[in-house]
Every structure is written in C-alpha cells, then in structure tokens.
Amino acid sequence: MAAAERTEGSCPVLPLASGRSIPVLGLGTSHRGGYSHDAVVYAIQNCGIRHIDTAKRYGCESLLQKAIKESGVKREDLWLTTKLWHSDYGYENTKKACLESCERLGVEYLGLCRSIGVSNFLISHLEQLKEDCVITPHVNQVEYHPFQRPQELVDYCRSRDIVFEGYCPLAKGEALTYPSIIQLAKKYGRTPAQICIRWSIQNGIVTIPKSTKAERIEENCKVFDFAIAEDDVEVLNGMHDGRHVSWDPSLVVFYILI
C-alpha cells in the first residue's frame, strides 16, 4: 500500500493536505439504483464502513440521514462525502448548497467544509483550477479500475499532494468476468471483486465500490487480510486499455467534492 497509509480501527486511512485522514475504502451510492437503506445500515454496523460517498444529484442525502441515525455510529466517526452540481457555482450559491446538503444529511458539517476536492478532473482541468483558486483540492475523484488506470493523472495528483480517489473499481461488473482477473481470484482464493478492490487499494487509491446488497458489501470489505504479489499487481496494471464505463472526463462539468 501507499507509504503514507496508516490505520484507524480496521480500515486504513490516507492523510489529506487539510490535516484530516480519509478511509481508503468507502461505500458508493448513485442516482441510478444506487441506494439501499438496509445495505447502508449493514455496511456501517456490520462491515466497519466509515466512509460514505454520495451527491446532491443522487437524491439520497435525506435517505442517508435515516440510515446514519439507525446505524448508531457517531457523526464524528464517519467520513461523509457529497458533491454539488455545476449550477451551485459562486461563493454564495456554493455555501447555500452546502448548508442544504448538511440539512438533508442531518449533519452540522461535511466540514462546511473541512476538506474539499473535485471529481473527474484531468490534468488540464487541475492546471486551470490552479490559475483560479488559492486552495489546491485535497481529493480528486475519478474512474479507476484495471481497464482505466490513468497513471499520469495519479502521479500528477500525488506530486501536488492531492489524494486520488477511484470510483467504479469493478468497471460496472465488466472486470468480474475478465479471464485474467478470474484466474487471479482462484490463485488467491478470493472473488474477482476482492481482487479488483485490493489491487486499487494497493496502488494507493481511495476506493469506493457501490452495492445495494449486504452480502456484496461484506465481500467488498474483506480485502485487508491479504496482499497481491507485485508481479500480479503488474499483470493487473497492464490491463489498462483506456476504456470508460462511466463517461469521458474530457467532457467534465466542474463538481465540488466535500
């Protein structure tokens, strides 16, 4: 894993330039069938998940409030990420949108805002941002899986103390049926999903697989009791072919990640 990684509880964390630390494994949600109340509660209560990723656009912030309360875990023990929409541009609009997200989530802070970041930013976007902003983003959240490993962007972010966070670590299921990944899963006595998630984390990427099924979430979390050998990591690294299962970030709309 990344040299800077340390552990709090059962899930390792990575330090941010903001002075805080983000769990390397989280639970993703989405606006397309990406939310289950029971699954979120189970993830927090039974799987040790302390990192939840959502967005204003997903429409489930209010639902997460109920799940978080039911979980019984204190707010200060959770890392909550949400994202604003491009229409929230401008200081006053952004502040208002942040407060509205806090209200829907039932929290007093997301860090209003203790750590900030961006999503789907390429090097060109980050360079442009550098010209317009005083604060460097603490996180850049981008699609990351064996078929989409933008190492140049990862290296750029690390050189500027920006933590790289990867979504779609299973390539929306495409990676689960890939022969080489299935072969590695058999070799390590794991599932293809666990191989992909473990590979991502070993590459120093904060990883947020999405699932609405408790058993899948439990499976996805069991990735800290084994390691993939370096030669097998290189096999997985070599699968990069540039494909996107989400969308092409060269068409990025500027989000705000909290």
Number of folded domains that form the chain? 1
Residue 166: closest CA among 216, 201, 124 = 201
Task: Establish if 11 belongs to a structural domain.
Answer: no
Which residues make beta-bridge pairs with 21? 15
Span 31-85, pLDDT tens digits = 777 789 999 999 999 999 999 999 999 999 999 999 999 999 999 999 999 998 8
Instruction: Lowest mean pLDDT of 1-10, 209-218, 228-237, 243-252, name the range.
Output: 1-10
Task: Establish if 189 belongs to a structural domain.
Answer: yes
Catalogue the active-site residues.
Answer: 58
* Full strand arrangement of the beta sheet holding 11-15: 6-8, 11-15, 21-23
Task: Establish if 133 belongs to a structural domain.
Answer: yes
Task: Establish if 168 belongs to a structural domain.
Answer: yes
Task: Establish if 3 belongs to a structural domain.
Answer: no
Question: Residue 134: which pLDDT band, with cuts at 50, 70 and 90?
Answer: confident
Instruction: Report the distance separating Cα 217 and Cα 237, nearest Å.
Output: 24
Instruction: Report the distance separating Cα 29 and Cα 209, nearest Å.
Output: 9
Task: Establish if 179 belongs to a structural domain.
Answer: yes
Span 150-185, pLDDT tens digits = 999 999 999 999 999 999 999 999 999 999 999 999
Return the pLDDT at 10: 73
141 vs 87, more confident:
141
Question: Residue 258: which pLDDT band, with cuts at 50, 70 and 90?
Answer: very low
Task: Establish if 18 belongs to a structural domain.
Answer: no
Instruction: Lowest mean pLDDT of 30-44, 52-66, 190-204, 211-225, name the range.
Output: 30-44
CA separation, residue 76 to residues 5, 26, 80, 227 (Å): 20, 16, 10, 30
- Taking every pair of Cα atoms in the chain, the longest distance, rounded to a whole number of angstroms, is 54
- Residue-range definition of the domain harbouring residue 110: 26-257
Check which CATH number belongs to the domain holding 102 and give it.
3.20.20.100
Task: Name, of 110-114, 128-132, 185-189, the range with top average pLDDT.
Answer: 185-189
